[in-house]
Structure 1
Amino acid sequence: MIIIIGVLLLVITGLLLIMYYYSKFEKIKIYLVKILNSINNNLYLYLLPFPIVYLFFHYFYYIPNLELFKNSKEPLPFFCREDVVEYLKSISIIFFSGGIFSATVKLINNLVVFKKNFQKVILSDEFDFLLKDKFQILALSDDFLLKRTDIQDIWSRVTTCQFEQAFPELKNSIVKKLENDFFNDKMLTYYYNNFRIQINLELLDENIVKITEVSNFEVKAKTTDPIYIDFRISSLAKDDDTIYTKLIEEDCKLDGKKMILSEITSTNDNKNIKTFNTELSGNTSYVLERKVEMTQNLLDDRVFSFSSSIIIDNMTVNVKPCDKLNIFFSVVGKNKFNSDNHLGDNNNRICRDVLLPGEKFKIFIYKKS
């Protein structure tokens, strides 16, 4: 019985000692695992220093003193013995190869990890949202739009989107009627610069007014390729010697020389429309002079209006009525004309801004009482 009790005490004591030293070993094990992981993850850092040190030893100490070692009659230092040097050389080659292999494996592992993380980023909702946002910004940039051949369609879609939000039931009807003068081929080929127009008004009869319009302007083209300029005048289909509208061709000039014009006549809504066309080529700047003469019956029409389908940059208007007439100058739309009184009267207007296609101004004519 005493023996059994003694054996049990020895077993319990042994178990307690084993548990005590095991707990100590676990703490040591944690540090050992960290060290082993560090060596495993950075093995090349531990392998490469040895061949590097050997390289310096071999080429900067052993080789320069090789003859001295061979002729020495005294025992050589341990690391300078030929067999030791060859042995160290072999070990250096093994360590160097292992270091390179370890570094390569680590690089491949990092690439695999990078690929997996990159896939997670690419497939994430945050990246998808960011990518869409950047593409939307790119799609609205000037460089992107200038390379598009369907920019007119893009403009149409952008415009109709505004109406679709407010009045979706009107979208289809608006699309059918949507036009934009800015995408006309002529609009992107040339524009008028420094447009000066002189308008003379003369009362010929009781109610018949003669209007003479003389204009001078520069045509600025995008290239030296041929462009075609149209002058369009309209009048009532019943024009006669009293009421008429005509272009004075002999007074129309191109760069100081008589302009060559071709004429096309058509009828629309009880009006005669005459279109005079001329070709310009070889330059990017041309100076044109034009003269139009017309008559109006103040009982039927007392308004003279001026319009252009081409953009005009800077325009000067000088109106000169005879002493029997008065005028009222009216600006159309958002156009802005300021008084220009340097000639000493109040009938001169100047616009130093860009005038978009369409009607520019109206002149209401009435007789002095």
Structure 2
Amino acid sequence: MKQNLKKVISSKDFDKKLEKQLKQITFSEGFLIEQSNLPELWETVTLCKYRQQFPELYPKLKKKIDNELFITDNISYYYKNFQINYNIELIDINYIKVIESASLTIVRPNINEFEWDFGVTFDDTPDENITYDLTFEIKNVDGIIFEENDIKTRKKPGLINKYIAKKLSGQLEYHIERRIELVQDLRVDRQFSFGSDRIIDDFSLKIKHCDKLSVFFTTVNKNKMYHNGAFNKEDLAYINRDIFLSGEKFKIFIYKKSEKV
């Protein structure tokens, strides 16, 4: 019996079957989920593909390869039912006010503490007419207050980023209402863009503007949105029931009707 077993184990057929089974286990979802080094595994698999096709690029790619979907901070939560309303008004000869009102849900995998962050970027200018205002509210959790000193500032050449980072815990979902008011100089900046580092599941927006302005909406980075049938055909209302991955989602270009586009 032992001799027969040894013959089976030492046979080439057994080696092939064992190798096949090990490969199936190694690349099964159940096995991979249990691994603590998924970003490294993803990097290795991606690099192997390019190494096979373009081995001369391998050393350069290894230094640069990255994927926002696999950054731990970026997968600590995602958004769902993200709804935005824009109101854009010409308030002076060259200045517009953009009001963004948003309702969204943060989805967590557990109730442990995490950091929710959000930011707005605008031009760094000494113009006193350029203003901003950010307000937040969590509707389903009492006792969490967003104060003015929660808003921090980061600067890049020519840009200012106002952001908030708030520790939250105890819920699987957080229902957020957010309002942003910005004043822009159309001579300097005539676009308003929206992006997110996190995945968004189910997104909709509606744009209203005064009759002195023309507004053009366009998606970017292969994102797709279609007209929201809950509104009239002439309304600037868009929706996508699918998911948006990390990155910029769309741009809004704003012109005075007296200008040539």
TM-score, structure 1 as length reference: 0.65
Unaligned runs of 5+ in 2: none
Structure possessing the higher relative contact order (Cα contacts under 8 Å, 6 or more residues apart): 2
Aligned mate of 1:346, from 235, 252, 255? 235
Change (3 A) 1:239 1:199: farther
Change (3 A) 1:125 1:366: same
Question: Once the 2 structures are TM-superposed, how far is the Cα of residue 239 of structure 1 from its aligned partner?
Answer: 4.4
Aligned mate of 2:99, from 198, 204, 212? 212
For 2:161, what is the secondary structure of its paired residue? strand
Q: Which residue of 2 aligns with 1:324?
A: 212
Q: 2:249 is aligned with what amino acid?
A: K
Within the alignment, does 1:254 sit opposite 2:138 as a pair?
Answer: yes
Q: Which residue of 2 aligns with 1:282?
A: 170
Contact 1:259 1:278 in 2 (8 A): no
Point out the structure with the larger strand share: 2
Aligned mate of 2:151, from 254, 263, 271? 263
Aligned pairs, how many? 253
Change (3 A) 1:366 1:328: same
Alignment of 1:175-324 (within 5 A): 175-244=62-131, 246-249=132-135, 252-255=136-139, 259-261=145-147, 262-324=150-212
Paired with 1:350 and 1:183, the residues of 2 have a C-alpha distance of 26
Within the alignment, does 1:365 sit opposite 2:246 as a pair?
Answer: no
Task: Provide, for residues 7-63 of structure 1, a one-character-per-residue CA deviation record: whole Å limited to 9, x for no partner.
Answer: xxxxxxxxxxxxxxxxxxxxxxxxxxxxxxxxxxxxxxxxxxxxxxxxxxxxxxxxx
- Tell me which structure has the larger Cα radius of gyration: 1
Unaligned runs of 5+ in 1: 1-113
Contact 2:75 2:198 in 1 (8 A): no
Task: Provide, for residues 158-182 of structure 1, a one-character-per-residue CA deviation record: whole Å limited to 9, x for no partner.
Answer: 1111111111111121121111212
For 2:20, what is the secondary structure of its paired residue? helix
Displacement over 4 Å in runs of 4+: none
Contact 1:234 1:271 in 2 (8 A): yes
Q: 2:118 is aligned with what amino acid?
A: F
TM-score, structure 2 as length reference: 0.91
